[in-house]
Amino acid sequence: MKFSAQQIAAALNGVIVGNTNVEVSSISKIEEGKKGSISFLANPKYTHFIYSTNASIVIVNDDFEPTTTLNTTLIKVKNAENAFAQLLEMYNQVKLAKTGISKHAFIHESATVGKNVYVGEFAVVAENAKIGDNAKIYPQVYVGENVSIGENTTLFAGVKIYSDGVIGADCIIHSGTVIGSDGFRFALQDGGKKVPQIGNVVIEDNVELGSNCSIDRATIGSTILRSGVKLDNLVHIAHNVEIKENSYLAANNVIAGSTTIGKNCMFSGQVGIVGHLTIADNTIIAAQSGISKSITTEGTAVMGSPAMEVTKYRKNYIHFRNLSSIVDKLYELEKTLLGKKV
């Protein structure tokens, strides 16, 4: 699909400098711009590329003035970076605007499907499932029995949702993610017999889950991701965990069973949290930290394994790095003292 400079400028409230009729059909970095693509310039570090780029249109700040002739059309806006982000969102909406049900999809006769829904090839919508208006179910998705999918939610290819799951509105779930697999519970005193997992997973509105995440169903009750939660790729959430509103977890986080994560928390990559803990609102956890105790003070920042308050960790780290020389000095001191005693 092609868009003219006039159309783009109108959408961004911009001013055109150059060919008003030039058209673009793709987006590029300014240093990799090709004919028929649109790019942007916001960081002065990249200014020199605007004189050599082959991009047909470049979005720039309204105070930009070229020092020599350009081979591209400019669209001047108040904030080039924000305008380009807006353009990306518009492009994505057009790209993902899919509707219709493939003849190769299976939808059980007892399922309910809303208006303007897309269901791709070899997707399965099982008994008594409910699909909200404008939802998008990409190829090879499995929506299990009694699952509810809210309006405007997108399930990308290969997502699997086990029975009784509840997914809210305006959610995005990326490929390979599994929602509702059994929690990891075994009765060790009874020869390792598996404990049945009869709960479900509840995901509220405006949640985004990266690719290949695993969200376990509760043993009893629900594993819950509250509104606005964002998970990166490869995150594991165990049975009966609750993550409260607007918390962000980066890749490879592992949250063990029955732990509660507060609101507005931010966890960097590879954080591990043991089970049955409480993490206070607004907690920040640095990458590769191990959390073995509850964090009860709001706004705490921790790092390390076992984790400690971040300023204390940094002070101690100086000693960790110098530990070998400190030990050598202790040995020398010991020899001196023993020598005096003799």
Are the beta carbons of 265 and 245 closer than 8 angstroms? no
pLDDT of residue 338: 82
Are the beta carbons of 76 and 61 closer than 8 angstroms? yes
Between residues 22 and 93, the one the model is more confident about: 22
- pLDDT above 90 for 248: yes
Q: Would you kindly state where each structural domain of the chain is located, as residue ranges?
A: 3-95, 100-314
Q: pLDDT, tens digit, for every residue of 53-92?
A: 999 999 999 999 999 999 999 999 999 999 999 999 888 8
Q: Tell me how far the alpha carbon of residue 242 is from its chain's centroid.
A: 17
Alpha-carbon distances, residue 194 vs 88, 162, 186, 240 (angstroms): 48, 18, 4, 16
Q: pLDDT, tens digit, for every residue of 262-279?
A: 999 999 999 999 999 999
**Phi and psi (nearest 5°) for 193?**
-65, 135
- Residue 112: band (very low, low, confident or very high) from pLDDT cuts 50, 70, 90: very high
Block residue for tokens 């998970």: 231
Looking at the structure, give the CATH architecture of the domain made up of residues 100-314.
Answer: 3 Solenoid (2.160)
pLDDT of residue 342: 40
pLDDT of residue 91: 84
**Catalytic annotation present for 239:** yes
pLDDT of residue 335: 86
Assign domain 3-95 to a CATH class. Answer: alpha beta
For the residues 181-196, what does the mean pLDDT come to?
A: 90
* Angstrom distance (rounded) from CA 115 to CA 140: 21
For the residues 173-197, what does the mean pLDDT come to?
A: 93
Query: For the packed helices 80-95 and 5-12, what is the interaxial angle rounded to 10 degrees?
Result: 110
Helix spans in 3-96 (H)? 5-12, 80-95
pLDDT of residue 340: 57
87-88-90-96 Cα dihedral, nearest 10 degrees = 160
**Phi and psi (nearest 5°) for 156?**
-75, 170
Q: What is the pTM of this model?
A: 0.85
* Angstrom distance (rounded) from CA 301 to CA 44: 34
Of the listed 104, 239, 276, 319, which one is catalytic?
239
Q: pLDDT, tens digit, for every residue of 113-152?
A: 999 999 999 999 999 999 999 999 999 999 999 999 999 9
pLDDT of residue 302: 97
Please report the DSSP string for 265-302 in residue order: -EE-TT-EE-SS-EE-TT-EE-TT-EE-S-B-STT-EE
- pLDDT above 90 for 111: yes
For the residues 230-244, what does the mean pLDDT come to?
A: 98
